[in-house]
Amino acid sequence: MSSRNPYDADLAKNPANYVPLSPLGFLERAASVHPDRVGVIHGDRRITWAESYRRCRRLASALARHGVGPGDTVAVMAPNIPAAFEATFGVPMVGAVLCALNIRLDAEAIAFMLEHGEAKVLLCDREFSPVIAKALAGLARRPLVIDIDDGEAQGGGPIGTMEYEDFLALGDPDYVWRWPEDEWEAIALNYTSGTTGNPKGVVYHHRGAYLNAIGNAVTCGIAGHPVYLWTLPMFHCNGWCFPWTITALAGTHVCLRRVEGRAMFAAIAEHGVTHMCGAPIVMGLLINTPEADRRPLPHPVNFLTAAAPPPAAVIERLERQGFRITHVYGLTEVYGPVTVCAWHEEWDALPIEERARLKARQGVRYLTEEAVMVADPLSLEPVPKDGATLGEVFFRGNVVMKGYLKNPAATAEAFAGGWFHTGDLGVWHPDGYLELRDRSKDIIISGGENISTIEVEGVLYQHPAVAEAAVVARPDEKWGETPCAFIGLKDGANATAEEIMAFARTRLAHYKCPRTVVFTPLPKTSTGKVQKYVLREMARRLGA
């Protein structure tokens, strides 16, 4: 550094040239530039951007009148309906932090999150009032509960102080909302699924939400005014930041209370959906929708998928139907996806199996995430880009959480060495694309050899009778652990454990082949991920 730097003199930040980054301004812009465009669709409802902005300001204003302010938590228990969307803006507009709860959780988990997150207000969709009532019963401090009486809700009833629309009516549609004083301020609190122990509260900041919202658009090539179908839960990493992405582009949010084949095809046809996101389970629903419930696609529909690599057969069937699949990867701690399997035009000419193999890779960093590496978990030394050496996936950049709420030990562990430790294991290909092999805790160590359960599962999926497969470690007296396969068979298909094991031996090193095969439908999380901890427990009970 020069002893005297003229570029540092009299050139400080001031209110004219420095504003904290925040996605909140996206809504103001959509409303002022495209006031009459439809911003939100839900059933027969059409909410323009001007009206959406007024509703969000009403929400912020009503929250402020009830004493909610900076650093307070507002929880939401709702499917993908307008209220859930409005909370992504209305809550941070008073400086509060949005805690979107997974609607498939039980009362105990919800109670923990409300208590740990210190929720001051809870917006609760009627359908989920039974589980919420149970969760509230055990709380020392009960939040203000607002009922959302969505027209499409089934069952449940009011348990709160007032209904959401009445609450909005208390608010000022011209409310002068609060821009964050610092872009490092928290905007959202998202609890991890917590397969062991208590869930951890991942804290997002305004800067990261702004950058990943834009990162989705720039990295995945989303331009114009996208029409976005809400098949990914908004409570899942704040819908991968898409409430902010689609608003930034003044697109249209098409709400979807229930993710069902018929409803998806209807929404695509009626509203001209251009983009949607979801776990493989959503792709499966699309593929398996009966002919009578299908509608022709008005144009190609872009589908972003994560959580598990899309198998070749699924890609092929969906692409033939007019969907374009993009494979992304991320975690709650990084605001949703931060890598993408960026496509090369020359790959289009390859056979489908080859394309699927390339597309199964988790790929490269988002433009807005500064670094990703596959490295030794202890030394943080990057592994060679040989497509073979296993390492842990690490991220560093602006789309990484602030940390875990009230959990400095876990935060320090996650950030040890100046990188975020994902706990996911993978390899680095010669072209710089990463490919996951396993979660650290999923890896099987048999006779001292590491076995990637993803590799074994990939082989099992090739068996013609196998619909789904998951492999976990089974304790073994001699080998320490051996692979145990759980398999769901296709409708009408048959196979024996011996056949499956023999099949695997023709394609895998012997030590990697399952020693145990159990036929059963796989247990899954609300976001479509196989619950390996359930399977591990089942395998443990099988004995060593």
Q: Which of 29, 429, 505, 515 binds its own copies (CB under 8 A)?
A: 29
Which C-beta is closer to its own copies: that of 9 or that of 349? 9
Q: Which amino acid is at 395?
A: F
Please, what is the minimum distance in Å from the beta carbon of residue 370 to its own copies? 4
> Which of residues 287 and 380 has its CB atom nearest to its own copies in the complex?
380
Among 223, 292, 349, 378, binds its own copies (CB under 8 A): 223
Q: Is 70 in the site for its own copies (CB under 8 A)?
A: yes
Applying the rule CB under 8 A, the residues between 108 and 127 that interact with its own copies are 118
Site for its own copies in 413-432 (CB under 8 A): 414-415, 418-420, 432
Of 7, 296, 299, 498, which one interacts with its own copies (CB under 8 A)?
Answer: 7
Give the binding-site size for its own copies (rule: CB under 8 A).
Answer: 71
506 is a site residue for its own copies (CB under 8 A): no
Three-state DSSP at 167 gives helix
Query: Do strands 466-476 and 449-451 pair parallel, antiparallel, or not at all (unpaired)?
Result: unpaired
Distance between CA 158 and CA 313 in Å, rounded?
A: 45
What 285-291 contacts at long range (C-beta under 8 Å, 24+ apart), as own/partner pairs, is 285/259, 285/260, 285/261, 286/261, 286/318, 286/321, 286/323, 287/314, 287/317, 287/318, 287/321, 288/261, 289/261, 289/262, 289/264, 289/265, 290/261
Among 400, 451, 504, 508, binds its own copies (CB under 8 A): 400
203 touches its own copies by CB under 8 A: yes
240-259 residues in contact with its own copies (CB under 8 A) are 248-249
Residue 338 engages its own copies in binding (rule: CB under 8 A): no
Residue 69 or 157: the one with the smaller Cβ distance to its own copies is: 69
Euclidean distance between CA atoms 250 and 224, whole angstroms = 8
For residues 269-328, which are near its own copies according to CB under 8 A? none
Instruction: Establish if 411 lies at the interface with its own copies (CB under 8 A).
Output: yes
From the CB of residue 367, how many other CB atoms can be counted at a distance below 10 Å? 17
Binding mask 82-101 for its own copies (x = CB under 8 A): -------------x-x----
Q: Which of residues 360-399 bind its own copies (CB under 8 A)?
A: 364-365, 367, 370-371, 395-398
17 belongs to the binding site for its own copies (CB under 8 A): yes
Q: Shortest CA distance to 72 belongs to which of 120, 127, 32, 124?
A: 120
d(CA 65, CA 192): 31
| Nearest CB to its own copies, comparing residues 345 and 491 | 345
Is 151 among the residues that bind its own copies (CB under 8 A)?
no
Q: Give the nearer residue to its own copies in terms of CB position, either 2 or 288.
A: 2
Question: Closest separation between CB of residue 165 and its own copies, Å?
Answer: 28
CA distance 511 to 515: 9
Check: CB of residue 230 under 8 Å from CB of residue 253.
yes
Rounded distance between C-alpha atoms, residue 453 and residue 418, angstroms: 29
What are the angstrom distances between the C-alpha of 417 and each of 378, 381, 392? 9, 11, 13
Q: How far is the CB of 415 from its own copies (least distance, A)?
A: 4
Which residues ranging from 161 to 190 are in contact with its own copies (CB under 8 A)? Answer: 184-186, 189
Torsion of CA 47, 52, 55, 59, to 10 degrees: 130
Contact criterion met (CB below 8 Å) for 383 and 375: yes
Taking the complex as a whole, the smallest distance from the CB of residue 28 to its own copies amounts, in Å, to: 9
Contact between 435 and its own copies per CB under 8 A: no
The secondary structure element, H or E, covering residue 192 is none
Cβ proximity to its own copies, 281 vs 304, nearer residue:
304
Residues 6 or more apart whose CB falls under 8 angstroms from that of 160 comprise: 122, 124, 144, 145, 146, 147
Give rounded-to-5 percent helix, strand, coil for the chain.
Answer: 35, 25, 40
449 binds its own copies (CB under 8 A): no
Output the smallest distance, CB 402 to its own copies, in A.
4
